[in-house]
Amino acid sequence: MRLPHDSLAIPAFLTLPSLISAISLDCSKILVDGQSFNLKALGGPHSVHWIRETPPSLSNTTFTIDICQPLKRTKDVPKSNECPGGTRVCGIESDYNLADGTHMVKEVIPIAGDYSTSAHRPLDPYYTRLKHSDANADADKEGLRIELNGGKFPFDGSGGVQQKAFVEFLCDPHKTGLEGDEGDGREKEDSTDEGGERRRKREEGEDGKVEDGGKEGEKEKDPDEGKSLRFVSYKPEGEHGVGTLRLEWHTKYACESQKDVDDSPPSGKSPSSSSHWGFFTWFLIIAFLATAAYLIFASWLNYNRYGARGWDLLPHGDALRDVPYMLRDWARRVASTVQGGRSRGGYAAV
């Protein structure tokens, strides 16, 4: 069963393209069938690969996704070599010539994003709680499935093939969802050169995904092995041949018993100690306030009834003035006891 982002009825005027982007997707609070999921910890760009042998070259399509915000522009990359603004899921296909070690960007596929302003195509997310799914394959699964829309290839023009992405978040209490993460490997306009270096290494095969010479074992290796985010398929689906990307994401944040990320206590602290004061703390606070109230009221009473000033304002002023002397006498008694015990030498007076 597909449900919109908010189960509440949305007034008709909110369906205007200019306002859809504001309510399209909030990764920190996804409510579906009465169950809330917080996927904020999975925000940021994350990439997976789909590698095919296309002799005499190797084809590598890198799918990059950010579920919390649109993907950022890449530094020193032409606009024609990356997806347009507002894209949440982007596919970039590159061909690698194994003979001479060259490569080139072949296709840029905007699969999903909020293009309400530029092309009148919203992200239009739909959520499915896997436990309540009508599909038999989802019967034993826990988590949620997100459908993201808005993409088209080619992006401009009246033609083109519609695109969409299905991201299946599967409950795995032992995984954060960031295992094996490489980001999108590209240097952004507001970042250092580390991302650009990682991208160049991946394209040149220095990380073992695509390597010059085309060693058979490395070409057959799964580039997403060991990752929490995995590529499943990308192919036309439905009677209209919609280009459909399917991804799996194993993470503890898809577990229905997982607490909100922002509400989790720091490491080594229990929820009760981090969010509530103990009984002893409250006792001290109440005792201090009661003592202060008594002193203030008694001082006011002494001032108005007896015209007292200075130390005479305080209740039991004589006793309070004697406290320093009492402490001094007590300290002397303790010191003499300790010193006297050391000098007796084992004999007692007769």
Which positions ≥6 away from 144 have C-beta within 8 Å? 30, 32, 35, 37, 127, 128, 129, 130, 168, 169, 254
pLDDT-based confidence at 258, cuts 50/70/90? low
* pLDDT, tens only, 49-103: 999 988 888 999 999 999 999 999 888 888 888 999 999 999 999 999 888 888 8
Give the tokens for residue 302: 């002494």
Give the tokens for residue 220: 């057959």
Residue given tokens 């034993």 in the structure block: 140
pTM above 0.75, yes or no: no
The CATH architecture to which 12-260 belongs is Distorted Sandwich (2.70)
Domain extents in the chain: 12-260, 280-336
Most trustworthy range by pLDDT among 19-23, 151-155, 256-260: 151-155
Q: What is the 3-state composition of the chain as percent helix, strand, coil, each rounded to the nearest 5? A: 30, 25, 40
Residue given tokens 């970042």 in the structure block: 191
The rounded mean pLDDT for the chain is 77
* pLDDT, tens only, 293-323: 988 888 888 888 877 777 777 777 777 777 7
- Taking a C-beta distance cutoff of 8 angstroms, is the pair 188, 74 a contact? yes
pLDDT of residue 280: 84
pLDDT of residue 230: 94
